[in-house]
Structure 1
Amino acid sequence: MRSTGSKFLALSLAVPAAALSLSLGAQEAGEIEEVVITGVRGKPRTVQDSPVPVDVFSSEDLENVEFTDMNDIVRTLVPTYNLSREPISDGASFIRPATLRGLPTDKTLVLVNGKRRHRAALVRIGGSGVQGPDLATIPAAAIGGLEILRDGAAALYGSDAIAGVMNFQLKTNDSGGSLFVTSGEYYEGDGSNTTIGGNIGFSLGDGGFLSISGEHYTADATYRGNQYCGSWFCLDPDGAAYDSFIAGGLPERIAYATDPDFLAATASASLEGDVVQPWGNPNAERTSIFFNAGMPVSETVDFYAFGNYTESESDGSFFYRYPYNGTIEELREPDGSIYFPLEKYPGGFTPRFFGEVEDMSLVAGLTSSAEGALGWDVSVRTGESSIDYTLANTINPSMGPESPTSFKPGTLTNTETQFQVDLSYALSDTLTILGGASYLDEEYDIGEGEADSYRVGPYSASDPWGFCSGDSATAAGQAVIDAGSTLDCSDSDDPVYRAVGVGSNGFPGYSPAFSDVYSRDSFAVYAEVNADVGDSLFVQGAIRYEDYSDFGSETIFKLAGNYSINDSMSLRASYNTGFRAPTPGQQGTTNVSTRLPNGFPVAVGLFPASGIVAQTLGATDLKPETSSGFSIGVTGSVGSADFTIDYYTIDVDDYFNAVSTRDVSSDPTAGDAYSNFLALDAAGVAGANTIGGVNWFTNAYDVGVSGVDAVVTLPIDSDLGTTDITLTYGYNKFEFNSSPDGFLNAEAQHDIANFDPNTRFILQANHRIDNIGVNLRGSYWGEGSNRASSSDDSAIQTFGSIFMTDLSLSYFGDGYTISAGGMNIFDEYPDKDSISDYCCGRIYPSASGISWQGGRWYVKAEYLF
């Protein structure tokens, strides 16, 4: 793994201090449950009288979810947070994409202690090109509370806060701590996982604290697929496509698929699992450390700092490579003999992709909040995320027998540094004005891979050794024939004419032509007013101006209010405008593979929208996505029950997406593809004849999401103990506000709007009697649907609703806790595919946000000191 620790430490020590107010950071857990600080700067307000909907989760709430990945914890607790597991999706297998309120994760701002969290290194290729923070780098052991603002807040916090804001509040203990170990396994007997973690607090000087938390997590892979089978190649005689393969497949493929020796060799085609094409969760290992510190430096000024270091490794499979699939092909060597990659991989091969993620941050600052005086907070933060790829169990086909079987395709790195000043002044008990300024520097580095990962080998061209001239052998060809070669220049199927792909198969490396550093800076100022008008009305107004070096400026605003009808009921509403600035990664990312139409290697893939290649074919410079959002809701109490119900709508203009690929060909008979070649050549694009297809990110179309969120909490005290019941409900609908034609085909349009269920609710009861605790949680997902073909309107499957149940039992001893339980205890699975959209042994919709791994059990022991 590439080390960036020294550079990071030097940068951290070179900048002045910054961060969240110590007075806010030192809240007790009980206070976190009563008040919110996210979405309303200045005086904290209760959940009920907040002008915007905020979910508040204590550290106990997070600990009651038996997951280690923060993504999975949030998905378990928040109905409109959706998270998928994508087994074959390049880097998205390691840094998982999520949505909140139907919008991608880069439209939700993530804060830690009120400060912006840096983005992950991964830019998801294709689709919406998501690049957001990686929640998996935040260990649950470090979190004292979590607030999720379900409302647009870009005017308060800046770019990205369109769907909402997550604010993770770190633990602030100055003594004591905990140590825990958790272990579990899926009912299927795989996916064994263990987490060891803990927290310890120290006092710093007079009134200060240092809280250190850490976790180490390991998990084995899971497998939820059948043997590989498709109409083009099938290894499973019981597979649905086996008969059509035998009846209509290529004879040479059928010969291998029915050869006992080849079938036996397929046992080693994949590095994992008992089938050639594994489907499931990857192997994973992660170590995370967080610290949070604060101490007074005078009677009115506090210093604080917090940061993290996380290192993780994970791996996943690509698709199985079978004989005569364009990768495993017979090739003529220089001596005229035939080389076949089955000599390296007798049963074919399944590339295995490894990702090493390194994530680090440091925030530090000084703050003053003396009563009656100007409050201020001066802070700096720096953060870096990198992902280093390794590809194993594969080849560079164009190198033939000289190809290695393991490659380093390159490294992606995202770095951010921000300076920030926040000011507040209470003009009276009922009126507070706030303001501030920020400077942000961002950098995205695409690091070059090793040479063999992108090398253009001799077998990328037809007849690389000059053996043939037309149907006749040249002198060189005749020489190898005389030496015993079976070379036949008159046979168009002779291996001498075979040309194969370039680069490490599965994920070609980043070549020098596509490795670069992209950077920008931005400046922002904001102002905010919070006022209590009489005894019943609270109003909030905010305005923000941001200027970016790469695309210009934006001015946005927000208005919100809460009106108390009586002591037990309030109305609230908000209207906001917002934006999301395209990141340097999204503007600079290049992901190009080499293909061989007509045997000549050409580059096909994603090019920067601002570059000459894409702009010649119609691309324009990226601009911010802009949004407007409205919400209205009611909060109240009935007896001991509290409830909130909110309706919302969010419109996003210039929604970010990748265009469909524009083909390029130097063949004059290739129609539009040839016209594209001429345009590139006329524009002076170097090597235009080496480009075969171009797509890019663009501001594609307009979308809208709308829905309803509801939360009901009910505490019950009885002779049988205390029970806290929580019901959370979310309904979300995604719509296209302008036509996506030209960007998305009919299949993609349907799946974006309908694949994820619109409805979900979570019902949870947490019961405690004496030393015994019981936690029962039920999660419901409504129907979703998938389309398998753009040309067939009937190829749509509706996946039925599903209900999963979690149960845990705990014993609370003197300084220790022992727990046991299960997730999805009734072993529920989503519907299987019935329209053949999922090939290659895949059974369940693997991109679904609904778990398709089945039930799992676990045990946990925790020691408190």
Structure 2
Amino acid sequence: MSICAPTFAANETAASGEAAAPATADLDAVIVTGTRGGTRTQFDTMVPIDVFTADDVRAVESSDVNDILAQLVPSFVVQRLPMSDGLVFVRPATLRALSPDHTLVLVNGRRFHRSALLGARGAQGPDLAQIPAAAIKRIEVLRDGAAAQYGSDAIAGVINIILDDSVGGSVTLNTSEYSAGDGRAWGGDVGYGFALGERGTLRLFASHNQSDPTSRSRQRPDAIAFQQAHPELDVPNPVQRWGQPELESSKFGFNLDLSLGGYTTLYGYGLYGTSDGLSDFNWRNPDTNSELYRQTTVFPGFDLRTIYPVGFSPQYGNESKDLHVLGGLRGLLGDNLSWDASVGHGRSSIDYTLGNSFNGSLGPDSPTDFYLGNLEQKETNLNLDFVYPWQLATLQAPVNVAFGAEHRKETYTVGQGDAASWAVGPGAAAGLAPNASGAPGFSPSQSGSWDQTSRAAYVDVEVPLGVRFSLGGALRYEDFSSFGDSLNGKLSARWEMADGLALRGAWSTGFRAPTPGQLYSTSTTQGLDTNTLLVFNTGRLSPDDPIAQALGAKPLQPEESESLTLGLAWQGPGGFSGSLDLYRIAVDDRFGTSASQQVPASMSNPMRYTSVYWFTNDFDTVTRGVDLVANHRSQLALGDLRMTLAWNHNRTEVTSGSTALATNEAQKRIFEDRLPRNKGSLSATLGQSRWEWMARARYYGKWTDSTGNSTGEIFQDFGDMLMFDLAVTWKASAALSLRIGADNLFDRYPDEAVFQASRGLIYSRNAPYDTDGRNVHAQLHYRF
């Protein structure tokens, strides 16, 4: 939900949550997330917030906001997931080990749209990679439940990205490469802010980035055996590549703030991005893949070896277009009542292609390149918000009263792929595999368009009871066309026990509504069993599909949460500041997938599914943890020293539901142990007149991986990981600077994934960190 504050600072009148200690900013910095009041600082607010400046963002070697937050926020984890279909490009990012769609993302305080991709367990969160890092003024991360303030999704917290509104220009050029000699990346960005007389600003920005693929692969044992059996052939080594995809992206946008006279202001922003990527799939072995290489009387004389004599690894393509535009007016009614009206529209559109593949059931009539279809998510939000500082005779400061309403419409569309990509041809009767091998296209029965609308109203009150104590409360009612209504509340309090030391806490309820894509869409995926090395088809059905209902599917309901936060914030002499926060988040009716089931022989199974499943409200969890952020700043003879320690301990337990049952112990283990329970960083920056040195240590605790086999899970425990980063910046002038550095300076790699050796993979694709080794980078930045 957008918010309006009584102040009129450009593009910063709306936000989410409340506050704690920053990672590198002062606790006295004014924040706009989590409060409707206009003068809150991080130290004043009632729940934890981290604030990261443009310099913090630029200090991380990446143009992907996911990677930036993963290095800056201790409870934020993002995975690379090579060879994982669409997840290679829309990477799942989690806050406090909850689902990617349990974190609400805002831009300038307004809701940012979801990605069109339904990821692991059906999570449909925003794609942070679509927001240009070069256009960011600062990032505020609220680490507390805020659904009563903002609506659906704000269970783990809120990420509010404030766009740059400065006047003047900047140009940045970047390049990087891994020490292994691959993954070379290059790009740049340009931005310029115009002063619109005395009435406001308009900033334009654009960026372009391109990266080569990486490969951390060994030759598959079955490929070695195939080469030995066929010495006359030249088998590629490796036959498939595990690593980051080849990727090219461009982003454009604007940020506007314009006074129309009096107290009325026109504001808005626009973001548009395109990306094009390519990733490998599993190798098809001619000697063992009888579903593709079988010769039959259906296609006399045809042998796939004439097209792919050494087998083939399909090439999975992702072409995305992402758009988000918003416009609004804000002003004053009378002397004190501020108002804010806005309309925003977001769209995520992804086209999938598959090259170097084959539909076995079509025989010689099959193409080798396929268009698989399109996924599209569209959202339109209408907001009307008011803020009134209510001065009571009994209080020294006014009570801040905010209220408003929101209307949101979501539409999810699945576009049909080429007929050959989903066809079940004549060869299927002879045992030849249908569909494009690697990723079946969307069939007519899977294509369609579905929508959902919601209407909401809220009230949010902050009460100052003297100079040291304050209370807050929020209540939000929301009604959804798909399943009904929801009522959520939040209570918060802050007590400054002594100068520079405050105790704060909050209790709230929250929810995450199922999306149209989760409610209605279906899909088909293919996987490789690491035991049998055979490809298998899995079908995801919608919960209202007749087959799913016959097998026990039930309608989806919202996930519901209850959050408790208690913490301390401090700032004092000697440049010390920080926060320590304990939290507990209980989530009921969590969104997951049903157990896979065989399609009964009495039911039609034209897609030849090995198994089928559907989305369901599967289980309940309790997440407990602690966040520690400590800062120190001092003036030394060598320069200005800034140090930050950030640590998160987080543990999730499955408490009830099918995932908690003894018969599903494997899924319970996956869910509880798939991410590190401990993650932290210690950084130090020493700034001088022309030089700045930065050193950072990043720590990831132990975690557990699994194979995802169709014939039973295989687990492996991985040890902790410690990486060091180093960078130096030379300031040639006030306008020009050069930064050179290395992430993972000592070129550390994690334990090898021994259970994946049969696939040629060396390091786990599910690792919560980069597994490609040392990355050396340089950045040239010029301001004008």
TM-score over 0.5 for the alignment?
A: yes
Aligned to 1:241: none
Deviation at 1:128, TM superposition (A): 2.0
Deviation at 1:562, TM superposition (A): 0.8
Specify the alignment match of 1:150 in structure 2.
143
Residues 64-79 of structure 1 mapped to structure 2, 5 A cutoff: 64-79=59-74
Matched, 1:109 2:104: yes
Deviation, 1:375, is 0.7
Report if the CA contact (8 A) 1:185-1:856 is conserved: yes
Q: Deviations over 1:482-539 (max 9, x none)?
A: xxxxxxxxxxxxxxxxx11111111111111110101011100000111100121111
1:255 offset after TM fit, Å? 6.5
The Cα shift of 1:745 comes to: 3.6
Structure 1 distance, partners of 2:543, 2:745, is 48
> Could you say which residue in structure 1 is the equivalent of 2:34?
39
- Alignment check: 8 A CA contact 1:87 1:93 kept: yes
The residue number in structure 1 matching 2:402 is 434
3-state SS of the aligned residue for 1:128? helix
Aligned equivalent of 2:747: 827
Structure 2 counterpart of 1:509: 441
Instruction: Name the CA distance, whole Å, in 1 between partners of 2:215 and 2:706.
Output: 25
Q: Could you tell me which amino acid in structure 1 is paired with residue 41 of structure 2?
A: T
Q: Is the 8 A contact 1:410 1:448 kept in 2?
A: yes
Q: What SS class does the counterpart of residue 322 from structure 1 fall into?
A: coil
1:380 aligns with 2:343: yes
Task: Indicate yes or no: 2:304 matched with 1:341.
Answer: yes
Structure 2 unaligned regions, length at least 5: 14-23, 392-396, 528-535
Aligned to 2:696: 777
Q: Give the corresponding residue for 2:681.
A: 762
**What residue in structure 1 maps to residue 156 of structure 2?**
163
Alignment partners' CA distance in 1, 2:137 and 2:451: 34
Flag the 1:732–1:855 CA change in 2: closer, same or farther, 3 A.
same
Which range moved further: 27-36 or 401-410? Answer: 27-36
CA distance in 2, matches of 1:360, 1:793: 41
Aligned match of 1:6: none
Identity of matched residues, %: 35
Change (3 A) 1:111 1:690: closer
Q: Pick from 700, 704, 722 the counterpart of residue 803 of structure 1.
A: 722
Q: Quote the residue 2:121 is aligned against.
A: 128
Q: C-alpha distance in 2, partners of 1:629/1:431?
A: 25
In the superposition, the TM-score normalised over structure 1's length comes to 0.84
Corresponding position: 1:650 with 2:642: no
* Aligned counterparts of 2:184 and 2:7: Cα–Cα separation in 1: 40
**Separation in 2, partners of 1:90, 1:306:** 32
2: CA distance, partners of 1:530 / 1:744? 48
1:529 paired to 2:461: yes
Specify the code of the residue in structure 2 equivalent to 1:646: D
Aligned to 2:476: 544
How far apart in 1 are the matches of 2:650 and 2:335?
44
AA aligned opposite 1:163 = A
Aligned CA distance change for structure 1 residues 522 and 794 (closer, same or farther; 3 Å): closer
d(CA) in 1 for partners of 2:717, 2:537:
38
* 1:689–1:786 Cα change, 3 Å: closer
Structure 1 CA distance for aligned equivalents of residues 680 and 688 of structure 2: 27
* Cα distance change, pair 335–438 in 1 and its aligned pair in 2 (3 A): closer
CA gap of 1:647–1:742, structure 2 versus 1, over 3 A, is closer
Question: How is 1:5-44 mapped onto 2 (pairs within 5 angstroms)?
Answer: 23-25=8-10, 34-44=29-39
Letter of the structure 2 residue corresponding to residue 748 of structure 1: Q
Q: What is the SS of the residue equivalent to 1:513?
A: coil
* 2:232 paired with 1:261: yes
- 1:660 is aligned to 595
Q: 1:214 to 1:641 in 2, by over 3 A?
A: same
Give matches, 1:395-414, under 5 Å: 395-414=358-377
Question: Which of 202, 205, 210 is equivalent to 1:213?
Answer: 205
* Contact 2:264–2:331 (Cα < 8 Å) also in 1: yes
State the Cα deviation string for residues 329-382 of structure 1 (Å, max 9, x = none): 222355743x22111011100001000010001100000147832110000000
Post-superposition Cα deviations, 1:12-57, rounded to whole Å, max 9, x if no partner, equal: xxxxx99998824367998997121111112331112210000000
Q: Verify the 8 A CA contact 1:755 1:784 in the aligned structure 2.
A: yes
SS of residue matched to 2:292 = coil
Asked if 1 retains the 8 angstrom alpha-carbon contact of 2:212 and 2:245, the reply is yes
Q: CA deviation at 1:458?
A: 1.3
Displacement, 1:657? 0.4
Residue 457 of structure 1 corresponds to 425
* Alpha-carbon distance in structure 2 between the residues aligned to 1:387 and 1:703: 32
Opposite residue 750 of structure 1, the aligned amino acid is: R
CA distance in 2, matches of 1:384, 1:45: 33
Q: Tell me, what secondary structure is at the counterpart of 1:756?
A: coil
Give the corresponding residue for 1:574.
506
Which amino acid is the alignment partner of residue 529 of structure 1?
V
Residue number in structure 2 paired with 1:605 = 539
Q: What SS does the corresponding residue of 1:35 show, helix, strand or coil?
A: coil
Q: Per-residue displacement from partner, 1:203-245 (whole Å, max 9, x unpaired)? A: 224321101122100000000010012xxxx234xxxxxxxxx
**Residue in 2 aligned with 1:200?**
192
Residue 717 in structure 1 maps to residue 635 in structure 2: yes
Distance 1:433 1:584, change over 3 A: same
1:587 partnered with 2:519: yes
Q: Which residue of 2 aligns with 1:235?
A: 223
> Quick one: which amino acid aligns to residue 767 of structure 2?
S
Query: How far has the Cα of 1:833 moved from its partner?
Result: 2.3
Question: Could you tell me which residue of structure 1 aligns to residue 19 of structure 2?
Answer: none
Structure 2 length normalisation: TM-score? 0.92
Tell me how far apart the structure 2 counterparts of residues 40 and 276 of structure 1 sit (CA, whole Å): 54
Matched residue type, 1:25: A
Q: Which residue of 2 aligns with 1:477?
A: none
How far residue 827 of structure 1 moved from its aligned partner, in angstroms, is: 0.4
CA 1:528–1:744 in 2, change beyond 3 Å: closer, same or farther?
Answer: farther
Q: Deviations over 1:707-731 (max 9, x none)?
A: 0001111001022110111111101
- What letter corresponds to residue 696 of structure 2 in structure 1? R
Residues in 1 aligned to 2:93 and 2:758: alpha-carbon distance in whole angstroms: 24
| Residue identity in the other structure for 1:193 | A
CA distance in 2, matches of 1:320, 1:660: 28
Partner residue in 2 for 1:500: 432
Structure 1 letter corresponding to 2:327: A
One-letter amino acid of the counterpart of residue 165, structure 1: V
Whether contact under 8 Å (1:820, 1:858) holds in the other structure is: yes
SS of 1:155's partner is helix
Residue 149 to residue 114, structure 1, CA distance change in 2 (3 Å): same
Matched, 1:750 2:669: yes
Alpha-carbon separation, structure 2, partners of 1:512 and 1:612: 17
Aligned to 2:177: 185
Q: CA deviation at 1:424?
A: 0.7
1:276-425 pair list within 5 angstroms: 276-323=239-286, 324-333=288-297, 336-337=300-301, 339-369=302-332, 372-425=335-388
Q: Is the 8 A contact 2:7 2:38 kept in 1?
A: no
Q: Which deviations, in whole Å up to 9, do the C-alpha atoms of 1:288-333 show, x marking residues without a partner?
A: 1121001111211100010110000111111110013234322235
Q: In the alignment, is the contact (CA less than 8 A) between 2:315 and 2:354 conserved in 1?
A: yes
Tell me if the contact between 2:11 and 2:162 (Cα under 8 Å) persists in the aligned partners: no
SS of 2:55's equivalent in the other structure is helix
Between the aligned partners of 1:848 and 1:588, the Cα distance in structure 2 is 31
* Partner Cα separation in structure 2 for residue 808 and residue 690 of structure 1: 53
Deviation (angstroms), 1:748: 2.8
Contact 1:703 1:735 in 2 (8 A): yes
- Find the aligned partners of 1:791 and 1:212 in 2 and give their Cα distance: 50
Q: Alpha carbons of 1:500 and 1:235: their partners in 2 closer, same or farther (altered >3 Å)?
A: same
Q: Is the 1:788–1:795 contact (alpha carbons within 8 Å) kept by the matching residues of 2?
A: yes
Q: Which residue of 2 aligns with 1:858?
A: 777
Distance 1:796 1:418, change over 3 A: closer
User: What's the CA shift for 1:741?
Assistant: 4.9
Unaligned runs of 5+ in 1: 1-16, 237-253, 268-273, 463-498, 596-601, 667-673, 678-686
Partner of residue 627, structure 1: 561
Deviation at 1:545, TM superposition (A): 0.3
Q: Give me the CA root mean square deviation.
A: 2.5
- In the TM superposition, what whole-angstrom CA distance separates every residue of 1:32-84 from its partner, at most 9, and x where no partner exists? 97121111112331112210000000001000111111100010111110111
- Looking at CA atoms only, which structure, 1 or 2, has the larger radius of gyration? 1
User: CA deviation digits over 1:365-413, x for unaligned, max 9?
Assistant: 0001478321100000001001000100000111112211000010000
- 2:774 matches 1:817: no
CA 1:276–1:614 in 2, change beyond 3 Å: closer, same or farther?
Answer: same
Do the aligned partners of 1:809 and 1:819 also contact (CA within 8 Å) in 2? yes
